Amino acid sequence: MLTAFARAFKTPDLRKKLLFTLGIIVVYRIGTNIPIPGVDYRNVQTCIDAAQANQGLFGLVNMFSGGALLQITVFALGIMPYITASIILQLLTVVIPRLEALKKEGQAGTAKITQYTRYLTVALAVLQGTGLVATARSGALFQGCPVASEIVPDQSMFVTITMVITMTAGTAAVMWLGELITDRGIGNGMSMLMFISIAATFPSALWAIKEQGTLADGWIEFGTVMLVGLVMVGLVVFVEQAQRRIPVQYAKRMIGRRSYGGTSTYIPLKVNQAGVIPVIFASSLLYIPALIVQFSSSTAGWATWVTNNLADTGATAHIILYFFLIVFFAFFYVAITFNPEEVADNMKKYGGFIPGIRAGRPTAEYLSYVLNRITWPGSLYLGLISLVPTMALAGFGANQNFPFGGTSILIIVGVGLETVRQIESQLQQRNYEGFLR
């Protein structure tokens, strides 16, 4: 593998792409450490260093921003507005006929949907930036910190607008950097920036576990977490690569004097067809009631119940609801992204059929049956992986952003595998050898 990496840097155009990607990553990491105007950076660091920041409501966004959210920097919102906009457009494609027609138009329609995604990203950045500024001004961003209400000393309208515009511009810059990586670098740019954001939080999270440990100065806990992490990575790689291959046979057709078709292929249905989207959906949905309670400052009975059961990630109600929401969203997302009837119609149009299954409606019913069967283990796997931070919280005293948690490990392994595949395919085009010989 080391030889393959050396060969990648010896190939001129591949080396150029790799160095360009590394350069963009450096720029992105610099932006995550530049504070925005109007924020007292010393008070922010005081709250973070005192380990009094309550990341329960903001942990997911903070992880996707590489820790920039709680530091309130230029790239504080990170890639999260773009992810949200992409998911919303993907869901609306099923509901709005105009978007569905654009999706079928090919490259021109995809470019139009991408443009809509950019506009929606900017709008969501303004909304989320305003919410973050309001949260920081009220002191709710760092609950329990004595100087939390002094993070934004000047609370005038001009300073507030400047802060929102700065974070919105930072989100637009992040989106632009991701598109540059996609066009001129290696891998999918947005996924790569997400990968870097999550990986950047690993060293501090692992060291925090070592510092909080009690056995042999924390090294035993540290080693145990690393061992658990390696086992989880192996499990995630195994499941992410697992797929059910449905054979497809194309009949021979005579067009003029030439014979077409007669080939065999397959439809790959992944066990985890939904990816990490159900985890994001479930986390976001559970955060909404807690956010409402936090901003309303209500002390009513329902607010107390939400605080004790939904806002607390270790509560039994939170764990059970979180698990079932992940399973539900896994089936929901697979149902809206994979249309068995459309696949069956396309196969019938081009003379394809599944051996032993009649073309048309029987094929669609068979695909639905197989998809439901493999989605069950995939959804249960997602639910169990996502509960690892809760078990780590009880076993190691780690925080809710346990480095080998479900969302983070799924994204890191998925993006890592996809990037390695792209590098390997380009190496094989030039040297007939990739990473795996």
Interval 409-427: pLDDT, tens: 888 888 888 888 888 777 7
Mean pLDDT score, 123-133: 88
Burial of 398 (0-12, 13-18, 19+ CB in 10 A): buried
* pLDDT of res. 435: 54
Residue 420 lies in a domain: yes
How far is residue 197's CA from residue 204's CA, in Å, rounded to a whole number? 13
260-286: pLDDT as tens digits: 556 778 888 888 888 878 887 887 777
Residue 395 lies in a domain: yes
Taking the CB of residue 24, how many other CB atoms lie within 10 A of it? Answer: 21
Mean pLDDT score, 331-344: 86
Same domain, 189 and 230: no
Q: Name the DSSP letter for residue 387.
A: T
Q: How confident is the model at residue 226 (pLDDT cuts 50, 70, 90)?
A: confident
pLDDT at 214 over 60: yes
Whose tokens are 């993070």? That residue is 151
* pLDDT of res. 165: 93
- Do residues 197 and 78 lie in contact, with contact meaning Cβ atoms separated by under 8 Å? yes
Q: How confident is the model at residue 168 (pLDDT cuts 50, 70, 90)?
A: very high
Same domain, 124 and 267: no
Same domain, 400 and 415: no
Which CATH number fits the domain that encloses residue 50? 1.10.3370.10
Number of domains in the chain: 2
Q: Torsions phi, psi of 50, nearest 5?
A: -80, -5
* pLDDT of res. 53: 43
Same domain, 157 and 235: no
Same domain, 253 and 364: yes
Residue 208 lies in a domain: no
340-391: pLDDT as tens digits: 888 888 888 877 888 888 888 888 889 899 999 999 998 888 888 877 766 6
CA distances from 425 to 245, 370, 422, 428 (A): 22, 30, 5, 5
How far is residue 228's CA from residue 388's CA, in Å, rounded to a whole number? 10
Same domain, 236 and 320: yes
Q: How confident is the model at residue 336 (pLDDT cuts 50, 70, 90)?
A: confident
How far is residue 94's CA from residue 313's CA, in Å, rounded to a whole number? 33
Same domain, 182 and 218: no
57-89: pLDDT as tens digits: 566 667 666 677 777 888 888 888 888 888 888
Same domain, 137 and 182: yes
The more confident residue out of 282 and 144 is 282
Residue 291 lies in a domain: yes
Same domain, 112 and 19: yes
Residue 239 lies in a domain: yes
How far is residue 387's CA from residue 40's CA, in Å, rounded to a whole number? 36
Residue type (1 letter), 330: A
How far is residue 135's CA from residue 160's CA, in Å, rounded to a whole number? 12
* pLDDT of res. 320: 85
Q: How far is CA 198 from its chain centroid?
A: 9
Q: Which domain holds residue 58?
A: 1-200+411-437
Same domain, 422 and 297: no
pLDDT at 407 over 70: yes
Residue 206 lies in a domain: no
Same domain, 399 and 261: yes
Which token pair is 178?
């991701």
The per-residue pLDDT of the chain, averaged, comes to 79
- Do residues 86 and 124 lie in contact, with contact meaning Cβ atoms separated by under 8 Å? no
Residue 205 lies in a domain: no
- Do residues 421 and 2 lie in contact, with contact meaning Cβ atoms separated by under 8 Å? no
CA distances from 352 to 256, 263, 349 (A): 20, 9, 8
Same domain, 396 and 420: no
